[in-house]
Structure 1
């Protein structure tokens, strides 16, 4: 059974409550060290709060008194690193033909993160209570936030959305819109001297500026500038929603981009659908050179929206509805109908618009408007002459994406919330009892057998 997090994890007096520090963390020394270092640096601040979902009989004010004694009225408090690191997601990694293509794909996946996060929302219950949010994303970030008190005002958390674009082709309108990020100018200068261009040097300098979380004495004693081990240790401890992955060996997978924000779904079919959709969309992006650039302030605003309850239906997200088509394919007959908005624009406010998930994925539905991400995927399948029998195999997965976007197929979070509220043993007080939780797990098991 795939769950983002078990709904009653952290409930006092049950098997879900850790009996000793880090018992859920891999016993290998490296992982124990990561947990120890994360826990020691923030000086007791490592916790996260969820607003309670207020039902008819929910106590007012609602109080959750954690062992730390640092509760907030009407909020659930989690302060266990184990719970944060135990959250599950769908992570998809895409091969690129070369560095140029990888950098372009990385940039275009960044503005898609908040949309896919909202579509896959799957965590409406924490610590045995319904909460007023649907996702795990920033909650995990809070529980692995190692920033010291003096770093809070100038340093974003390690687990956050991306704040750098990499392609040399990024439009000039994005210049100067990069928000706050760590930057050791000496590190950036060294990277520039080593042959990186400015965009790549800034990206990696913002990562390498962080204090190491996993560096051991053995690592220092065995430093070898002929391999990438040290780089991997540093690069692997900053968790952005899109990861740019350069080749680490001559015979490895080459240039890759990893897409990380999607929440794990309740069924294998749903997980497969989102993995397939993102793979096909990544191929459409690289084949048609699609342009989804957004200014970072719009991305930040949309991430805030994605974290709200029922964002997939009620949320409005910034998206590029015009100026997205590539000049390299405007004259190609097979994509001409899709690329109706091929005029160049310089004004981000005119190109970008607050749109629903349905409009972004399924299109706006009128002539000359945004055709939708699904239309681009189907256009890619036509353009690359995928046989009809293969399209028929893909159709059920893409149908689920269409239905999820237009809300005829609810998110796992919405489904779970509805199941709880309709259960005969739920008392309309936000509490998800062991009986309700057990029956919900049984029902999820049945869903996977259909």
Structure 2
């Protein structure tokens, strides 16, 4: 069989996307890699667009249901197999319990193991186990407990929010995330074109999206993908036409485009050349303008900005509903370094503001040390610095989400009946005039 014919055969059997999904699973669970990094480095580049989307979806769904899959498999496996085999079983178990046809999934699982010389001897085991899962698994899947966060994250969240709130967050993580979109101009028109709904904050939400780049308005630049929570910091900053606004740590560029669409004169800075390339591509696609620089945030020394948006590097623990790889690829060891870096970034950003200027500090983190505590300590360090709680008076923002120091705490269990949102912390601080 020629190479093109072999690729077509794999795609027809679903082996291509399953094999790619298995590679992603092995890298996350075995090497501590993150899915965005793997995909950004070209892990799925060899697949056609529809198979890329399927591979990513399979890997994400498996990671989201990994704990349930392991509980299910424990009924049928006496001894834990090697990771490569275990991940095949996990992948296929999630598919089977999600309603995929048993014949195709079982055959694909056996084939994936058989093609690997190191695991080929276990194809009989895989066949037997998956047949048992196919017979008994779908009925028992929903009865299994909701997957819990690992202790390194669950424990500090319980301290900050209590066990009931953490359980609600875990339910939101397991439910996954719909596709959220920010419209360049008219959310109602975009929602109508895409069959979505407009949320209270103006984000367009799609229950089923498919391949993003094939949706109406993508090529025309009418919108960009951005979680509803991630769109709120710019709304709170409220950029005005003609204002000089600095977007620090700008990639992947959703907030940069919001700022530009509002008419601000935007300077976008990010330390990653690859990620900044995506920002430029998105600006080109949407026809929006911003000055972009690849640089460390601390290398920016020219000040006088009217406003600054600092979406600081953080633990990203608020994004697990969309990135279920995070609990398996991290262990919390970087928390201390990130918290220190955030404090230094706030201090640096304040030095770049003109007198009376405003700074929005935000993180996609659920940890109070990366949000509420940072702002409390910044106010204590800088004489005259104030938190503007009135800036939170925006459409769709529940007053109950406000925090004691004047910021906004968003959680994945908010809007649970509408599909949730990312965990975020946002506060607007004003420099003394």
Q: TM-score, normalised by structure 1?
A: 0.26
Q: TM-score, normalised by structure 2?
A: 0.27
- Answer 1 or 2: which has greater strand percent: 2
Which structure is higher in RCO with an 8 Å CA cutoff and minimum separation 6? 1
- Answer 1 or 2: which has greater helix percent: 2
